Amino acid sequence: MSAPSRSNWNATREEVDGVVVGDDLCVDARTVATRCITIGAAPDAVFPWIRQMGFGRAGWYSYDWIDNLGRRSAARVNPEWQDVVTGSSVPGGPVAFTAAVVDPPRAFVLQLGLPGGRLCFTLAYELRPDPAGTRLVTRMRTRLDVPGGAAVERWLLGPGDGIMVRRQLRNLAERAASRRELGLPPNVHHEGETDAPGQESGSTGGDGDER
């Protein structure tokens, strides 16, 4: 029986085959997935949303009841969370990622473990200028060198990460684009908006492909 084939999502063949920032940080990855979305806002308006991610910070914009203990992910950019630079620690709950690359507004890469160790994991966000605003290309690379590691990657890490990242990308796109449409800067509240805990981030649609 084969694992569900949902590794890549909404990515062109060129995006899947092409180089993404951070590929060199986990060169021996056994599981690689490229997921993309087009956002109706410029890269410099999108990057702050990514930079502030983290448990106890802005959250992850995904299924908050899973990865943020039910605390709703931020609905605006918080200047106090724009302090992440290359080498910073980014809290992930039970683990802490390293911000291996912070290159505003072009690229952001999270890393866990190192090549040659038992675990190597990277999640890269590359923001490419697009006529519509930003083409956000993400790439997950991982290798788990423990007994049964290949099966865990295939059946758990790959599909699970895909579900979470697809939701994250839709929510990121919704947040950044809605502020542009309203003519608001990223860090200004508007009526009806809240960062209160205990409410899951909103969905932006089903699981079908989108540009």
pLDDT tens digits, 77-125: 999 999 999 999 999 988 999 999 999 999 999 999 987 788 899 999 9
26, part of any domain: yes
pLDDT at 204: 35
Please give the C-alpha separations between residue 84 and each of 15, 39, 45, 113, in angstroms, as whole numbers.
27, 22, 16, 19
Q: Is residue 177 part of a domain?
A: yes
In the predicted model, is pLDDT for residue 133 greater than 60? yes
Number of domains in the chain: 1
- Residue at 41 is within a domain: yes
Candidates 163, 175, 66, 161; CA nearest to 122 is 161
Q: Would you say residue 121 lies in a domain?
A: yes
Flag whether pLDDT at 5 surpasses 70: no
Whether 48 and 165 have beta carbons less than 8 Å apart is answered as no
Decide if 205 is inside a domain: no
Q: What range defines the domain where residue 158 resides?
A: 13-182
The per-residue pLDDT for range 183-193, each reduced to its tens digit, is 555 554 444 44
Condensed to tens digits (0 to 9), the pLDDT of residues 148-168 reads 878 777 777 777 788 899 999
Residue 201 forms part of a structural domain = no
Q: For position 18, which CATH number holds?
A: 3.30.530.20
Q: Which of 103, 101, 93 is nearest to 22 (CA)?
A: 101
Residue 126 lies in a domain: yes
Residue 110 lies in a domain: yes
